[in-house]
Structure 1
Amino acid sequence: MSKKKDNNEETLEQELDQELENELENEEVLEDIVDEEIDELAQLQEKLDDMENNYLRANAEMQNIQRRSNEERQTLQKYRSQDLAKKILPSLDNLERALAVEGLSDDVKKGLEMTQESLLNALKEEGVTEVEIVVNETKMDHNYHMAIQTVESDAEADTITQVFQKGYVLHDRILRPAMVVVAQ
């Protein structure tokens, strides 16, 4: 019986060893599966992070495009009358020359003044204003004035002594610089 008992114990030991070995193998397989799942999860998280980053970049770019578009639209709206104003300015110059002619009848002079006033009002409504110059007081500014001549004068140097042609500005943009004579 002792042999049988020894055999039984031996068989039992072998079975336990086999079971333990199977469990260790199962644990290794489970660890491998868990490691694979963790790797896959890390890859998915990385893809998610990339997609989120791409989304945020695209969203920011879209906002920049909208902002630039709005700014461009506002600029176009602000300066929409620039070309028309440039075309009207020579007519204003001609009206001014016509008003300077001696011997005009009062009716003709009144008609010319009314026409000039209506053109100036229309331009003013669009944001066009005359470059203001006070003769013998205003200093030459290359942004708004174009010197066509310099003269010896009692006035301070770089002071405008005469205006040949008026200058005009549309909001903050120069349409045409004033043509002036400057003291030396």
Structure 2
Amino acid sequence: MSDKNMQSEGEQPASPAPAPDQAANDAATANGNAAAAAPSAEDEDWQEQVAKLSARNAELADQFMRAQAEMQNVRRRAEDEIAKARKFAVESFAESLLPVADSLEAGLAHQGGTPEQIREGAEATLRQLKAALERNKVLEINPAAGAKFDPHQHQAISMVPADQEPNTVVTVLQKGYSIADRILRPALVMVAAPK
């Protein structure tokens, strides 16, 4: 008879006995589960620190988002102000020129004036115009004869022989103008030639 047949019908094969190493592993797992169920003081400290850091991270993220939104608002307001400044930049200048235009129109409307009256009116209008330009920081560049030639403010049209130092202004053909230290138009001058 075979070994199979030798076992009686009601008998079950015996389970093998656990190995000694397996028993130690089972005991360690049981202890680990017990430790996981009751966290240690060190684990609680770590969890508390993680919670604090998470809260701080959320606070900083909120502050960053608010700062970004504020920067976008500041940028948008600055762009609006620049657009308005460009659009209305000449408003003050135009306002100061209106009296000059009024004077010219009044002079043209006046009939039968003498040449002296017309000249006086033109001179008064020119004074108004110069005052308006000065109020808006538009200044004349009108070098005196004998002044040193400055290529930043003057444009030499020609060099002429003259009884003065070389590279000095002999004659101003057209006045120049500057605005806030920026040259709008250089003065056109004749310059003394080297001897």
**TM-score w.r.t. length of structure 2:** 0.53
Tell me how large the CA RMSD over aligned residues is: 4.3
Q: Relative to 1, partners in 2 of residues 1:22 and 1:49: Cα closer, same or farther, differing over 3 Å?
A: same
Following TM superposition, by how much is the alpha carbon of 1:180 offset from its aligned partner in structure 2, in angstroms? Answer: 0.8
**Which has the greater radius of gyration?**
2
Query: Contact 2:142–2:172 (CA<8 Å) still a contact in 1?
Result: no
Paired letter, 1:121: A
Q: Distance in 2 between matches of 1:30 and 1:120?
A: 86
Matched, 1:41 2:43: no
**Identity between Structure 1 and Structure 2 (%):** 27
Q: Relative to 1, partners in 2 of residues 1:128 and 1:178: Cα closer, same or farther, differing over 3 Å?
A: same
SS in 2 for 1:28: coil
**More helix per residue:** 1
**TM-score w.r.t. length of structure 1:** 0.55
Count of paired positions: 144
Following TM superposition, by how much is the alpha carbon of 1:146 offset from its aligned partner in structure 2, in angstroms? Answer: 1.2
Counterpart selection for 1:180 from 167, 170, 189? 189
| Farther off after superposition, 163-172 or 109-118 | 109-118
Q: Distance in 1 between matches of 2:132 and 2:170?
A: 29
Q: Distance in 2 between matches of 1:49 and 1:43?
A: 10
Following TM superposition, by how much is the alpha carbon of 1:110 offset from its aligned partner in structure 2, in angstroms? Answer: 2.4
Following TM superposition, by how much is the alpha carbon of 1:165 offset from its aligned partner in structure 2, in angstroms? Answer: 0.6
Q: 1:6-51, CA deviations, whole angstroms, 9 ceiling, x for partnerless residues?
A: xxxxxxxxxxxxxx99985543377656534432332332332344
Following TM superposition, by how much is the alpha carbon of 1:114 offset from its aligned partner in structure 2, in angstroms? Answer: 2.4
Q: Which residue of 1 aligns with 2:134?
A: 124
Matched, 1:148 2:134: no
Q: Which residue of 2 aligns with 1:168?
A: 177
Paired letter, 1:158: N
Following TM superposition, by how much is the alpha carbon of 1:159 offset from its aligned partner in structure 2, in angstroms? Answer: 0.9
Counterpart selection for 1:157 from 145, 160, 166? 166
Following TM superposition, by how much is the alpha carbon of 1:162 offset from its aligned partner in structure 2, in angstroms? Answer: 0.7
Q: Any unmatched runs of 5+ in structure 1?
A: 1-19, 85-103
Q: Any unmatched runs of 5+ in structure 2?
A: 1-30, 95-113
